[in-house]
Homo-oligomer: A and B are copies of this chain.
Amino acid sequence: MKNITPRLIELFKHGFCTPQITQLAKKMKEPSTTIHYNIKKMEKEGAIKAYKAVFDYKKIGLGYCAYLLIRVSQDKYGKIDDVCEKLAKHNEVESVDIVTGDFEVLVKLRVKDSDEYYQFIQYIINNYSIIKAVSMTSLKQFKSEFVG
């Protein structure tokens, strides 16, 4: 046993996939070279950032999903961006947005269970300039990453 799966998941989260030009061509009833041309164009323009896998997260040991609203201490200008960049580096973090409203940052997290979630929260509160954090645990997911 080589324990391929966890390594595969980590790579698949960010990329290591590629378009199915022939399938697209069939679906769209266009020549595959035309599809190819248009895809490469989008890639060059930066319109396409990556090709990746979407998982059934329960089945890969990431069954605990939560949204976290954060208020950041504002003693230095530009601090929020720093915190966001640090948060984005964690591979438990699916998304990081600066948002309007009572909180400044909205983070989406995927971890194994509540223990791992608690650990993560503790870590970021202790290490980043976070004043207040409100958790919204996902109880049921109907759609994620545009996949239903």
Contact = CB atoms under 8 A, between A and B. Distances in A.
Interface of A: 2, 4-5, 7-8, 11-14, 16-20, 23-24, 27-28, 30, 34-35, 38-39, 42, 45-56, 59-60, 65, 67, 81, 84-85, 87-89, 91, 93-101, 103, 106, 134-148
Contacts of A148: 88-89
A44 to B, nearest CB: 11
B5 A16 contact: no
Contact of A11 (B27, B51, B53, B85): B27
A39 B137 CA distance: 30
B55 A54 contact: no
Given A24-B11, A85-B142, A100 B51 contact: no
